[in-house]
C-alpha cells in the first residue's frame, strides 16, 4: 500500500535558476560566460540563460546571486547629456530639431529630453536609430 502512495504523490519539482558567475557591473551587456544555471527554484530568478544574454544590467549583480528580470533591460543606445535628434510627427507633418537627453536609455524606453532651441523639456520614446520621437504618436 505504501508503494502506491509514493507513486501517486508527485515529487518536488526542482527548477533551474540563472545566477551570475562573476560580478556584473551596472550598464554592462551580459555575455553567456557571465551566467550559469543552478538546480534551485529561486523566486523571481530567470530560468533560462538565453533570456539574459545580450541584455544590459541595470544594477550590479554580484557573483553567485540570482539574475532577476527586473535587473535587466535593453542595451542603451543613448547616454545622459547626449545630443540627439528630436522628431515630432503628426500625419504628413514632421518637425526635426536637436535635444539633450536627461537620462540614459535603450530602444523603446521613454526618457526626458531638453529641446535645445526652446529649452523646454519633453518626454519621448527612443527609436532604433537613436532619435527620440515626441508628440501624440510616440
Query: Across residues 80-99, what is the average pLDDT?
Result: 94
pLDDT at 15: 79
Q: What is the pLDDT of residues 99-134, one digit of tens each?
A: 999 999 999 999 999 999 999 999 999 999 999 999
Same domain flag for 52 and 97:
no
Q: Where a domain ends, among 73, 89, 123?
A: 73
DSSP structure class, residue 16: E
Strands 132-134 and 83-90: parallel
CATH code, domain with 36: 3.90.1210.10
Q: What is the pLDDT of residues 7-35, one digit of tens each?
A: 444 545 567 899 999 999 999 999 999 99
User: Rounded distance, CA 15 to CA 45, Å?
Assistant: 10
Total domains in the chain come to: 2
pLDDT at 8: 46
Same domain flag for 66 and 12:
yes
Query: Across residues 25-52, what is the average pLDDT?
Result: 93
Spatial contact of 37 and 18, defined as CB atoms under 8 Å apart: yes
Q: Where a domain ends, among 50, 73, 96?
A: 73
Same domain flag for 24 and 64:
yes
Instruction: Collect all residues with Cβ–Cβ distance below 8 Å to 60 and sequence separation of at least 6.
Output: 23, 24, 25, 26
The CB density around residue 51, as the number of other CB atoms within 10 Å, is 14
Same domain flag for 82 and 69:
no
User: Rounded distance, CA 138 to CA 105, Å?
Assistant: 15
Same domain flag for 62 and 83:
no
Amino acid at each position: 500500500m505504501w508503494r502506491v502512495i509514493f507513486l501517486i504523490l508527485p515529487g518536488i519539482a526542482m527548477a533551474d535558476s540563472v545566477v551570475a558567475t562573476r560580478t556584473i557591473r551596472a550598464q554592462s551587456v551580459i555575455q553567456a560566460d557571465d551566467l550559469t544555471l543552478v538546480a534551485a527554484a529561486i523566486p523571481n530568478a530567470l530560468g533560462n540563460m538565453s533570456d539574459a544574454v545580450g541584455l544590459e544590467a541595470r544594477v550590479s549583480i554580484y557573483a553567485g546571486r540570482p539574475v532577476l528580470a527586473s535587473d535587466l533591460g535593453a542595451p542603451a543606445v543613448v547616454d545622459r547629456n547626449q545630443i540627439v535628434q528630436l522628431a515630432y510627427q503628426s500625419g504628413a507633418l514632421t518637425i526635426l530639431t536637436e535635444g539633450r537627453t536627461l537620462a540614459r536609455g535603450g530602444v523603446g524606453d521613454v526618457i526626458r529630453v531638453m529641446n535645445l532651441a526652446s529649452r523646454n523639456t519633453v518626454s519621448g520614446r527612443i527609436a532604433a536609430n537613436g532619435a527620440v520621437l515626441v508628440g501624440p504618436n510616440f
